[in-house]
Amino acid sequence: MEEAKSNSGQNLGIAALITGIITFVMAVIPCVGMIAIIPGIITIVLAAVGLSQAQRSDSPRGVIMAGLIIGIVATLISFSQYFVVGKFARNFESDKWPEKIENIVNDVQENVVRDLEDANVSIKVEDGDDTVEINVGTNKSDKEKTLEELEGADTTSNVSITVTK
Amino acid sequence: MQIQPVMSASLSQNRTTISTKAGLTEPYLIFNISLAGVIMLIMIYSGIFSPDKNDYPVVCIHEKITGEPCVSCGLSHSFSLILRGRIDEAYQWNQNGMRIFIFFAAQFLMRILFSGAYLNHPDSRKQLIYYDITGSSLLFLTAFMPFLIYIFKFS
């Protein structure tokens, strides 16, 4: 009976120590550091319950205290990860975001202009036996070719080109 | 005269059972077995999930929030590739993957060796625990130094 009393709280202490070490390792890995706050709190609770049991029965508290300290440190490191993410996001936001957004807008603009330049529109209207088809090509290369042809044509004749918008 | 050897045999058997039971209930041994189990689970996780299929269930929360990869991104890929012997690719996924993997592998071996030493040398148990704490702390600091620097840099 006496032996059982002296060991009370020890199992909780071991559980707290193991959970605390796992939490500690998790807390220093930035990818999962923020989640480590949950096992950190569990560690503190386990150690606190174990400590109260050990105090009541006057049993050794070394393992429980180790678990409690590691749990608290791990929870603090895990909590600091929130500040890390916050600060990182703020730095990232202030330094790179405007530049990146500007680049993306420029890229989109260039793509749209390029697509419109090379666009070919074809409209086909069918009414019974009658079919009307209109093809409009806005190819820049075609336009340049036509312009070259016009420029190379006989300039002695009076040719007037009227462009209507 | 014939009963005596039987009695002594049964007594020695009882003593062996008691000492084994006491050994397994030692906090240090429970702690070692549990940590070795956790490390085994990490290795199994790295072995089961394939780096080619990219089907890892753990995602980086840091990257999800900030949109930028952190210092520990690609660690799962790196572990899986190390287990498959593709060290060059592992380095490409995460530069610190190898040192973290060595830390876990060393810890796994240390848990087994220290448990054996703890059972075989009952007189120097306290000393063994001190050696274990010191060695593990140094190993931890060496392996996780880039992560710690990263945390202190931004916090």
Contact call for B68 and A88, based on CB within 8 A: yes
Report, as an integer, the average pLDDT of B79-90. 91
**How confident is the model at residue A161, as a pLDDT?**
54
Contact call for B65 and A89, based on CB within 8 A: yes
Domain that holds residue B150: 26-154
Q: Which residues of A touch B31 (CB under 8 A)?
A: 14, 17-18
**How confident is the model at residue A34, as a pLDDT?**
87
End-to-end CA distance of chain B: 79
Check: CB of residue B117 under 8 Å from CB of residue B111.
no
Reported in sequence order, the residue ranges of chain A that DSSP labels E, i.e. its strands, are 120-127, 130-137
A25 in any annotated domain: yes
Check: CB of residue A45 under 8 Å from CB of residue A94.
no
B38 in any annotated domain: yes
The SS3 assignment for A34 reads: coil
A130 in any annotated domain: no
**How confident is the model at residue B10, as a pLDDT?**
47
Residue A147 and residue A43: Cα distance in Å, rounded? 80
Is the C-alpha dihedral spanning A85, A86, A87, A90 positive or negative? positive
**How confident is the model at residue A93, as a pLDDT?**
60
| Segments of chain A scoring below 50 in pLDDT | 1-4, 165
Indicate the residue of A17, A33, A34 with minimum beta-carbon distance to B31: A17
B15 in any annotated domain: no
A119 in any annotated domain: no
B142 in any annotated domain: yes
Top pLDDT among B13 and A110 is at A110
Top pLDDT among B94 and A115 is at B94
Gap from B65 CA to chain A (nearest CA, Å): 8
What chain B residue is nearest to A62 in terms of C-alpha separation? B27
Residue B63: pLDDT over 90: no
Three-state SS for B72-136 is CCCHHHHHHHHHCCCHHHHHHHCCCHHHHHHHHHHHHHHHHHHHHHHHHCHHHHHHHHHHHHHHH
Q: What is the pTM of this model?
A: 0.66
B20 in any annotated domain: no
pLDDT tier, B51 (very low <50, low <70, confident <90, very high otherwise)? confident
Say how many CB pairs under 8 Å bridge A and B.
77
Residue B17: pLDDT over 90: no
pLDDT single digits (tens) B20-35:
455 567 888 999 999 9
Q: Which residues of B touch A81 (CB under 8 A)?
A: 62, 151, 155
**How confident is the model at residue B7, as a pLDDT?**
46
B84 in any annotated domain: yes
Determine whether B126 is exposed, middle or buried from the number of CB atoms within 10 Å of its CB (0-12, 13-18, 19+): exposed
ipTM of the complex: 0.76
**How confident is the model at residue B8, as a pLDDT?**
47
Determine whether A19 is exposed, middle or buried from the number of CB atoms within 10 Å of its CB (0-12, 13-18, 19+): buried
- Domains identified in chain B, total number: 1
Residue B6: pLDDT over 50: no
A48 in any annotated domain: yes
B21 in any annotated domain: no
State residue B83 phi and psi, 5-degree precision.
-65, -30
pLDDT tier, B15 (very low <50, low <70, confident <90, very high otherwise)? very low
Residue B145 and residue B150: Cα distance in Å, rounded? 9
Token pair 């790295």 is found at B46
A54 in any annotated domain: yes
**How confident is the model at residue B23, as a pLDDT?**
56
**How confident is the model at residue B36, as a pLDDT?**
94
Domain that holds residue A28: 2-80
- Domains identified in chain A, total number: 1
